[in-house]
Structure 1
Amino acid sequence: MKVLVAVKRVIDYNVKIRVKPDHSDVDLTNVKMAMNPFCEIAVEEAVRLKEKGVASEIVAVTVGPKAAQEQLRTALALGVDRAVHVETDATVESLAAAKALAKVVEAEQPGLVILGKQAIDSDNNQVGQMLAALSGMPQATFASEVVVEGDQLKVTREVDGGLQTLSLSLPAVVTTDLRLNEPRYAKLPDIMKAKKKPLEVKTPADLGVDVASRLTLVKVEPPAERQAGIKVGSVDELVDKLKNEAKVI
């Protein structure tokens, strides 16, 4: 079974986000970029399926600028067999990304598509669901366990009330949650080998997809700074402030 994994280039989660002085966007100057953490989980799950003998080939795909090949090479170092890069300098919104991925799915015909449930830059949580709809495949989101049984897929997913187990027919789309697995680190020999693995470059035009933005970014503001707390001299004073100032009791 072929497994297709989508990955995205985002600001490294350890980096403190800076806003441009004119508030037009996030400042990316000299900022460390990395693979989206949820995408790392998706890659790890695909590699584990191959190690179990379930997957025969893993293909990673990303939609983004030329620099995003760095994240594809990371995926290749982690155990992915080959990669597809849909190269564009445009700001790719969720629907455009899903349409491009749907074309890649159509060409590759994978038995399973795995994506992170969301990207930590936009936090939209949309691409997996849109891709499933466009491809006509069943979907299971927020997966915390994935088990392949023949042509069926059992997915345990996290919901507000606890856990829910779904049974899907393959091919299917799965989006990963945090507790699905613990991603591994790429070893130096694997990083060197990844440089020689196949990486195919396409454009949105090659796929017949329009990635032009439909949204206008009006303004970006950093979160409001948290105000300093105050000390109270007694329990009575604390209750008084909670009741009359904070109005929470």
Structure 2
Amino acid sequence: MIHIENIQVGYGHCVVAEFAGDIAFAKARLIALIGTNGSGKSTFLRAVASGEHLINGTIKIDDKNWQEITPRDRSKLISIVLTERSFSYFLTVRELLELSRAPYTNYMGKLAAKDHEIINEVLEKFDLLSLHNRKAGTLSDGQLQRVLIARAIVQDTDYIIMDEPTSHLDINHKADLLLQLKEYCHENNKTILFATHELQLALSLCDEVVSIDKGSIVHQSIAQFHDSKLLQKMFPSKNLIFKNGTIYFNF
């Protein structure tokens, strides 16, 4: 479980978002992080993933403070998909996925049969087998986004942090991906926290919602979120109607 207490996140002394109290992310949950542009979603994700931008408060994972966990052990607990892409574009898809197994290899970095088995399973599940020998630099943005998500899955962590995982994807791939991620969480007892602007899809599929509005962080079940009518407050517009968790256009 990821446990957050009295958190403030931001830059230097500038607090972007805060929550006075306890937030707990349990296993087997798909959790959407929503908020307007500039509300602090990415800052919050980085704080949860690595302690970066954490001004005050405590973040624990499985009852251990971040500072008590070695980098190698952290890489077995949390994997990350950020909007920045820092890797060699000369690597093949398979090589990118192989790097994610590094926390489990010996001092020589040699992959075992189990590592190759996991990689092949994920390649197949995310429909990437036909791309496994392609260089990352030759892929479309949508293909590369799927590869980076697969890379996080291959890392086989209990918690996955994703910033806009459906960016660059067609509408059908957005829906398919979020449904895949939900099934993955429930079937494998994993938790995914992801920032998104795909409100309709996220609210149709996620188990819980973390919302950031005017510096305030709120964590709710999907039912609680719908009852709170926070969407109307966060995205006020005469052209939008929010009803029973569905978003309608009023043109």
Q: TM-score range by the shorter chain?
A: under 0.3
Q: Which has the higher contact order (CA 8 A, sep 6+)?
A: 2
User: Relative to total residues, which structure has the larger helix share, 1 or 2?
Assistant: 2
TM-score, normalised with respect to structure 1: 0.27
